[in-house]
Amino acid sequence: MGYGLPSNQTVNAVGGRQRARDIRVGSRLWTLDGERTVQTTVTEVEVVKAREVVDVVADGVTLTVAADQMLGAPDGWVHARDAADTVLAWTPARKLCRARLTIRPGYEFGYLIGATCSDGTVGVNYVSLVVNDERFAQRYARCLTVATGLSAGLEPVTRPSGYLRRQVPGYRVRVVSSYLADVLRQYVGGDAHHLRQGFPRVVLRDPETFQGFLDGYTDGDGYLIKTWPGRVLVSANVPFLTELARIVGARFTPRADGRASRLIITDRWPSRGTFRPEQHPIQLRESGWSQVHAVRRREAGDKPFTLYGFRLAPYPSFLVNGHLARQQW
C-alpha cells in the first residue's frame, strides 16, 4: 500500500509548512520528544507509487497519508488505516515557530507565580500586571526577567478607581509571550481566572520557591500584620486558599456570604512540618491528543499517488499538521 505522504500534503518544517514534494535532504522538520517539541533533520527522501491513500479526519483538520503510514497513539504507533476512533499525539502547529523560554526555578520564579495569581492577567499571548505601587511593579518586572529571561519594564498608566471614582496613576508590566501565558495556565490547571484557578503546586518544589510565592501573593492580594510576624492573604477563590492552608498548617474558615475570605499565615509556618516538597514540570507541556473522527479510503484514478517518505535524525518522527508521524521501520 505504500508509505509516506502525497505530494501536496503539508508537513511542519522549521520556518513554516511545506508540501511533502518540496522536502529535501537537509530540511529541518518539527517533531515531538515526549511532551516537548524538537527539531529533526531529513537524511533521505524516498518516493514510491501507490493506488490508495487514506484521509484521517481529526479535530479540525484532515491528514492525507498512506494507509500504512504510522501515526503516534497512546499505546505507541498505529497504521493510519486503523486509526479510527483513537487519539493521535498532537501539538498546535501554529505555535511551533514561537520563541521557547527556559524557566528558572527559585525565589523569583515563585514570586512571579504568586503575584500573577493574585493580581496579574494572563491573556491569550501576554502576561501583565497593573498596580498602583511602583515598588511592587519593579519587583514583579525583575522577578519575571530572572525567571524567564524576558525583558520586562514599567509603563506609567492610569486606571479607574472604584473607591475614588476617578482615574488614578499606576504602573503596568506587560510581556508578549504565548509560551509564558500557556505555561502559567498549565501551572494553575488550565484556567488562569482568579476565581477559578487551581493552586499552582509547581511552587512546592523547595522552600525558597514557595517563600517567593507567598511574598508575591502578599504583595498583590494581601498584607503583612503589623503587630506580630505574619501575613494575611485575601481571595474569593475558596478552594485555592483551602489548599494553601493545608500546606502551611493554618486554620481557614471561608466566609459564608461569598465575599473574599482571608487566610492568616504566621511566619513560623515552616516549624509546623506540614510543607512537603513536590516535583512538577516547570517547562511547558507542548503535546496533547487529537481525536480521530473518521478514516476514509481514497483510491487513485488513472494515475497512482506519488508518496514521499523521509528518513530523519536524530529523531525518527515528524509532524503532519501538528500530528505525530513516523518514518518507515
Helix, strand, coil percentages for the chain (3-state, nearest 5): 25, 40, 35
Residues forming CATH 3.10.28.10 domain(s) in the chain: 107-272
Count of residues making up the chain:
329
How high is the pLDDT of residue 168? Answer: 86
Is 116 buried (19+), middle (13-18) or exposed (0-12) by CB count in 10 A? buried
Question: Can you tell me the mean pLDDT for 205-223?
Answer: 97
The pLDDT value given to residue 1: 57
Mean pLDDT of 51-78: 95
- SS3 at position 81: helix
Average pLDDT, stretch 246-257? 94
Q: Top-level CATH class of 5-91+287-326? A: mainly beta
Average pLDDT over every residue of 186-204:
96
CB atoms within 10 A of CB 268: 11
**50: Cα separation from own chain's centroid:** 39
Question: Does residue 87 contact residue 73 with C-beta atoms inside 8 Å?
Answer: yes
Rounded Cα distance, 72 and 88, in Å: 5
Residues paired with 292 in a beta bridge: 58
Instruction: For 1-37, write each residue's pLDDT tens digit.
Output: 578 999 999 999 999 999 999 999 999 999 999 999 9
Instruction: Decide: 98 and 178 in contact? Cβ < 8 Å.
Output: yes
Report whether pLDDT(241) > 70.
Answer: yes
Contact in structure between 280 and 110 (CB atoms under 8 Å): no
Q: What average pLDDT does range 285-314 have in this prediction?
A: 95
Q: What is the pLDDT of residues 220-237, one digit of tens each?
A: 999 999 999 999 999 999
CA 224 and chain centroid, separation: 33
Residues 152-162: tens digit of each pLDDT: 999 999 887 77
At 309 the pLDDT is 96
Given CA atoms 131, 136, 137, 141 in this order, what sign does their dihedral have? negative
pLDDT higher than 90, residue 263: yes
> Which cell numbers hold the place of 168?
488614578
In sequence order, the 6+-apart residues with CB closer than 8 A to the CB of 91 are: 32, 37, 286, 287, 288, 319, 322
pLDDT tops 70 at residue 270: yes
The CATH superfamily of 107-272 is Homing endonucleases (3.10.28.10)
Q: Is the pLDDT of residue 120 over 70?
A: yes
Instruction: Tell me the average pLDDT of the chain.
Output: 95
- The mean pLDDT of 78-98, rounded to a whole number, is 95
Give mean pLDDT, residues 63-76.
96
Q: What is the pLDDT of residues 158-191, one digit of tens each?
A: 887 777 778 889 999 999 999 999 999 999 999 9
Residue % of the chain over a pLDDT of 90 = 92
Please, where in the chain does CATH 2.170.16.10 lie?
5-91+287-326
DSSP string across 135-202? HHHHHHHHHHHHHH------EEEEEEETTTTEEEEEEEEEEE-HHHHHHHHHHTTS---TTTPPP-GG
* CA atoms of 120 and 28, how far apart (whole Å): 38
